[in-house]
Amino acid sequence: MFRPWIRLSPFACHRPHLLSFLASVPEVAAKLKDAHTKDRKFEDVVKSVEQATVLVLVY
């Protein structure tokens, strides 16, 4: 299966690692928002992604 986002964002958190982390820290999982299941405008999705994006610097 071709997944272009993996090639474009090699430092993204992949699902298996994220699920493993959430299982080990249940208090974090309890604070997550519900998934968006309704149709949304593209601009709203972009704004949501911008608000959820962080920069991690490692020295």
Per-residue pLDDT of the chain (59 residues; tens, 9 = 90+): 555 544 555 566 777 888 888 889 888 888 887 877 788 899 988 898 888 888 777 87
pTM to 2 decimal places = 0.40
Residue 54, classed as helix, strand or coil, is coil
Contact 16, 10 (CB under 8 A): no
Alpha helix segments (H runs only) across 1-59: 4-8, 15-24, 26-29, 42-52
The whole-number pLDDT of residue 14 equals 74
